[in-house]
């Protein structure tokens, strides 16, 4: 788009640095400026509408015009716009939110510690795990295991745990021997020829067991996993995967951390991805749909036994010496509480269960497209993986960025989607999406795939 002096585009290029962006390319290309939202739609500064097929960044579950959340923020700002929760201080919204979140969490969860973002929740979980292990008299039990292609955030510790090169390259990561990665549970891309799901999950459990034994069980503290791997390509594991993984973890006294930042609050068809995938977590990280992303808020949820370890250690030291200025911010907590009320009153979970079979039918149908090697998903999250040859699963030259081409063409057809590894396009609409809007979203994606299939760039 041409840049006119003092336009929003020109001012953005002049002053703003964008995450996950080629900054030199941005100087030439400029931004897509979104000015307003309505339901599952957003509108740019020229008035063009788009179905927000990524719910922003996997997060805006109630769409972009939920007046009750704006009103909850306004009311709380008028009563108590800020109060901290350090050193025995508290306030009503954070007390109610902790009680509400714990009450809807899996039975193993007993306490909530609030932070401000998913990355911060992961960093905090790691820090608390190390504190907990020190309190148990296990100062060497500090190593953390994740999976290749996992996305757990981009702060320093979370960046070590994230198993995607683009989040690490150029940042001097890794710089620690405390973080290790195993195979992601994608039978499509990681399975051996002729391997069944059961054989595949057996192999992955054995791989984890072998790694823990090799490192030394007395050095391994925790295993972090997204129930469905989001930014790594929407990898949906076989249902036998997590029960086998947890059996290994229990054998070696290793904590199970379920990263629910994307999967939590109904995305997979249950309140928690842990429920969908058969996980019994010791800790959970939450964010995004907790407040429908209307205000930043996140949390670390933990079992009673884990809490007891923290409490004993804080008594021995005299303090749990960690926290954030905005932990449990009253306005963010009030908006999160109202979000959870809307989920209940509008029966959002039932709605997801009603429309997700149609979402899955449209998604699965794309598996027959000449460019699609695999179409995968659960609930209202999915992806298509783009391949050059379906039989051999051969990908295109990474230089042509085939998934970014598809996402760009979808945007031209009025649908915002997200290119994710490996050569995949992620789909994660607001939970309020209707059947007809699901059709419009997939119609746009299908047109994009057709357009890219016949483009001169791909032919080259």
pLDDT at 2 over 60: no
Mean pLDDT for all residues in the chain: 96
The per-residue pLDDT for 267 is 98
Would you call 109 exposed, middle or buried from its count of C-beta atoms within 10 A (0-12, 13-18, 19+)? buried
Q: How far apart are CA 416 and CA 425, in angstroms?
A: 10
| Sheet strands (E) in 177-219 | 179-182
DSSP 210-251: HHHHHH-GGGEEEEEE-SSBTTTT-B---TTHHHHHHHHHHH
pLDDT tens string 7-45: 999 999 999 999 999 999 999 999 999 999 999 999 999
Q: How far apart are CA 282 and CA 280, in angstroms?
A: 7
Grouping H, G, I as helix, E, B as strand and the rest as coil, residue 38 is strand
pLDDT tens string 287-313: 999 999 999 999 999 999 999 999 999
Fold of 32-65+347-459: 3.90.1150
Assigned CATH class of 69-345: alpha beta
55: left (phi over 0), alpha (psi -120 to 50) or beta: left
**pLDDT band, residue 460 (cuts 50/70/90):** very low
**pTM for this one?**
0.95
Q: Are 343 and 270 in contact (CB under 8 A)?
A: no
- Domains of the chain: which residue ranges? 32-65+347-459, 69-345
**pLDDT band, residue 427 (cuts 50/70/90):** very high
pLDDT at 104 over 60: yes
State mean pLDDT over 106-121.
Answer: 97
State mean pLDDT over 185-199.
Answer: 97
Q: In the sheet where 381-386 sits, what is the strand order?
A: 372-378, 381-386, 424-427, 418-420
**pLDDT band, residue 459 (cuts 50/70/90):** low
State mean pLDDT over 102-130.
Answer: 98
State mean pLDDT over 50-54.
Answer: 98
Grouping H, G, I as helix, E, B as strand and the rest as coil, residue 143 is strand
**pLDDT band, residue 456 (cuts 50/70/90):** low
pLDDT tens string 375-399: 999 999 999 999 999 999 999 999 9
Residue in the block written with tokens 């009311």:
75
DSSP 411-454: HHTTEE-EEETTTEEEE---TT--HHHHHHHHHHHHHHHHHHHT
149 Cβ contact list (under 8 Å, min separation 6): 163, 164, 184, 186, 229, 232, 233, 235, 421, 422
The per-residue pLDDT for 166 is 85
Q: What percent of the chain has pLDDT over 70?
A: 98
346 Cβ contact list (under 8 Å, min separation 6): none
**pLDDT band, residue 356 (cuts 50/70/90):** very high
pLDDT tens string 249-286: 999 999 999 999 999 999 999 999 999 999 999 999 99
């Amino acid at each position: 788009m041409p840049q006119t002096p003092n336009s929003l585009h020109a001012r953005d290029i002049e002053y703003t640095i964008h995450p996950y962006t080629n900054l030199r390319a941005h100087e030439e290309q400029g931004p897509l400026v979104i000015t307003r939202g309505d339901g599952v739609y957003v509108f740019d500064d020229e008035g063009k509408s788009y179905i927000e097929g990524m719910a922003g960044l996997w997060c805006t579950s109630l769409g972009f015009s939920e007046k009750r959340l704006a009103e909850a923020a306004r009311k709380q700002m008028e009563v108590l716009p800020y109060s901290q929760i350090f050193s025995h201080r508290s306030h009503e919204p954070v007390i109610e939110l902790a009680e509400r979140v714990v009450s809807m969490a899996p039975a193993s969860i007993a306490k909530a510690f609030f932070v401000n973002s998913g990355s911060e929740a992961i960093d905090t979980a790691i820090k608390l795990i190390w504190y907990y292990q020190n309190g148990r008299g296990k100062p060497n039990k500090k190593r953390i295991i994740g999976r290749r292609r996992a996305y757990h955030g981009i702060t320093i510790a979370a960046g070590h745990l994230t198993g995607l090169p683009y989040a690490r390259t150029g940042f001097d990561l890794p710089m620690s021997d405390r973080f290790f990665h195993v195979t992601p549970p994608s039978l499509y891309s990681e399975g051996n020829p002729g391997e069944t799901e059961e054989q595949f999950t057996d192999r992955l459990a054995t791989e984890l067991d072998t790694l823990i034994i090799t490192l030394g069980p007395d050095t391994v503290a925790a295993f972090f996993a997204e129930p469905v791997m989001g930014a790594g390509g929407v990898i949906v594991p076989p249902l036998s995967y997590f029960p086998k993984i947890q059996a290994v973890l229990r054998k070696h006294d290793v904590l199970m951390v379920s990263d629910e930042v994307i999967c939590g609050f109904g995305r997979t068809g249950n309140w928690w991805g842990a429920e969908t995938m058969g996980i019994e977590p010791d800790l959970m990280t939450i964010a995004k749909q907790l407040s429908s992303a209307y205000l930043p808020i996140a949390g670390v949820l933990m079992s009673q036994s884990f809490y007891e370890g923290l409490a004993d250690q804080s008594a021995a030291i005299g303090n749990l010496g960690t926290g954030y200025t905005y932990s449990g911010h009253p306005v963010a907590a009030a908006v999160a509480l109202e979000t959870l009320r809307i989920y209940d009153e509008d029966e959002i979970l039932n709605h997801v269960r009603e429309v997700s079979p149609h979402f899955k039918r449209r998604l699965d149908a794309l598996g027959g497209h000449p460019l699609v090697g695999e179409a995968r998903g659960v609930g209202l999250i999915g992806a298509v993986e783009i391949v050059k040859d379906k039989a051999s699963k051969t990908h295109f030259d990474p230089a042509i960025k085939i998934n970014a081409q598809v996402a760009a063409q979808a945007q031209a057809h009025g649908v915002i989607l997200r290119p994710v590894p490996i050569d995949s396009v992620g789909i994660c609409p607001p939970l309020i999406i209707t059947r007809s809007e699901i059709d419009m979203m997939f119609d746009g994606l299908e047109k994009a795939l057709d357009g890219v299939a016949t483009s001169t760039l791909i032919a080259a």
